[in-house]
Amino acid sequence: MPAETKEIDYVMEAASGPHFSGLRLDSLMSAAPSSSTSRSSSTPTTPSFSTPLVDSSVIKQPFVIGVSGGTASGKTTVCDMIIQQLHDHRVVLVNQDSFYRGLTPEELERVHEYNFDHPDAFDTEQLLDCVNELKSGHSVHVPMYDFKTHQRSKDSFRQVNASDVIILEGILVFHDQRVRNLMNMKIFVDTDADVRLARRIRRDTVERGRDISSVLEQYAKFVKPAFEDFVLPSKKHADVIIPRGGDNHVAIDLIVQHIRTKLGQHDLCKIYPNVYVIQSTFQIRGMHTLIRDQDISKHDFVFYSDRLIRLVVEHGLGHLPFTEKQIVTPTGSFYTGVDFCKKLCGVSIVRSGESMENALRACCKGIKIGKILIHRVGDNGKQLIYEKLPKDISERHVLLLDPVLATGNSANQAIELLIQKGVPESHIIFLNLISAPEGIHCVCKRFPSLKIVTSEIDVALNEEFRVIPGLGEFGDRYFGTDD
């Protein structure tokens, strides 16, 4: 074994390497990984499609969870419980404590005057580097901190490998906005202050080599004031507050369930919260298998496309606002339900969008449907040729129809026109069967409050701007003009 390897404590051996999926997302990484945290190697997989514009050797975005709370609130205990319950996923824990600055000899001499609960006690730049590296799919060497000597180990590190889930735990992980921005979910462990103090006295005397009077003195002088000044105000950033810490099994079960759902989602849905992929079932996969098959008959292509379109339309309608409505059933009982949103219309991008009109009409009796025709100019440019939209469109929620989202250029033109006509961006739901990642970026960056509902997100566009694996020219196949 090489000398350097011996010095590393392979605590997280189980998380044995970076994960890769079929889509490259490095252009999306929130911050370019930088260097101060040492890093070890990672190996990309081979691309699975021929000429994608976007290389398919991809780094999958991990799900980052921040866990904060006062000292001895049960943060570490809650993290351990989450890790145990997520046993079928690779999870790593990064403690903010590891990034405590080691004390200088002068500071050590007057350690009782040192405030370990102030944000400046941590090397936050190094913490940021570390999490960014992990998010980029690289392993990192995390410092090892000793609470008895108040120093970092000079020659050992803890190797943490890239994983599906990164949990970042510590009293002040919600304090710095840059650290908060790395998190997909923020949990605050809320435990009664007396309980925390009792636990802290026990822990610090048993595990951290302190005596009771020094623990109490430090608590009154630094820990409690800093909790009030920094930790408590950061609670407002939490998505979830867990009362009673590790005793709250219901909260922990719910959190684990939520993480599992998020991990099952496409990475783009984590980045753009307004992108919805209808839940995949074997029926849906089966229909995609049929319509993507180049040898399917025209009749079957239309039949299975219609079935899929209907599912996307129904899902899209579920995103419309509703009002509560109470009715009386034939048994004379009350039923409290909801009333559909009535002010809506469809807009199809001609020609392939017209294939979605029947499904929309079947779901919404008498719905008005407008049309937009956009012509491709050269490789990338788009020109609006024709539009016919309901006069009162600005008062309606719009379901924009186009079965394939490729570059996003046509969609953006159409959305731009709807906005010019007075439709609020948040009142537009774009429905399609297949989306390319490039199209999603293009549309969602420009129109972040618009919703996209799709049934599958494909790998990429090829050099001819066609979606791959895709299904070819949808309009030609649907309307039988491809012979």
Ligand X SMILES: Nc1ccn([C@@H]2O[C@H](COP(=O)(O)O)[C@@H](O)[C@H]2O)c(=O)n1
Ligand Y SMILES: Nc1ncnc2c1ncn2[C@@H]1O[C@H](COP(=O)(O)OP(=O)(O)O)[C@@H](O)[C@H]1O
Complete DSSP assignment for 356-382: GHHHHHHHSTT-EEEEEEEEEETTTEE
SS3 21: coil
Give min distance, CB of 203 to ligand Y, in A.
Answer: 4
Give min distance, CB of 206 to ligand Y, in A.
Answer: 8
Does 126 sit near Mg ion (CB under 5 A)? no
What DSSP character marks residue 136? T
Binding partner of residue 247 among ligand X, ligand Y, Mg ion, none, CB cut-off 5 to 8 Å per kind:
ligand Y
Across the strands, what pairs with 337? 325
Taking a C-beta distance cutoff of 8 angstroms, is the pair 403, 352 a contact?
yes
Helix (H) / strand (E) containing 290: helix 282-292
Does 71 sit near Mg ion (CB under 5 A)? no
Q: Would you tell me how many other CB atoms lie within 10 Å of the CB of residue 444?
A: 21
User: What is the distance between the alpha carbons of residues 225 and 158, in angstroms, rounded to a whole number?
Assistant: 32
Window 209 to 228, contacts with ligand X (CB under 6 A): 223
Q: Which is nearer to ligand X, 135 or 210 (CB)?
A: 210
Residue nearest to ligand X (CB): 71
Binding partner of residue 62 among Mg ion, ligand X, ligand Y, none, CB cut-off 5 to 8 Å per kind:
none
Does 66 sit near ligand Y (CB under 6 A)? no
Tokens 């909260």 found at = 251
Contact region with Mg ion (CB under 5 A), list: 41-49, 72-80, 209-217, 457-465: 72-80
- Show contacts of 385-391: CB within 8 Å, 24+ apart: 386/350, 387/417, 389/345, 389/347, 389/418, 389/421, 390/345
Does 76 sit near Mg ion (CB under 5 A)? yes
Q: Which of 40, 77, 151, 394 binds ligand Y (CB under 6 A)?
A: 77
Q: Which of 71, 136, 191, 409 binds ligand X (CB under 6 A)?
A: 71
Does 97 sit near ligand X (CB under 6 A)? yes
Contact region with ligand X (CB under 6 A), list: 45-53, 67-75, 173-181, 428-436: 67-75
User: What is the distance between the alpha carbons of residues 309 and 142, in angstroms, rounded to a whole number?
Assistant: 49
- Helix (DSSP H) and strand (DSSP E) numbers for the chain: 17, 23
Window 176 to 205, contacts with ligand Y (CB under 6 A): 199, 203
State the residues that interact with Mg ion by CB under 5 A: 76
State the residues that interact with ligand X by CB under 6 A: 71-72, 75, 97, 100, 116-117, 147, 150, 171, 223
State the residues that interact with ligand Y by CB under 6 A: 69, 71-77, 199, 203, 245-247
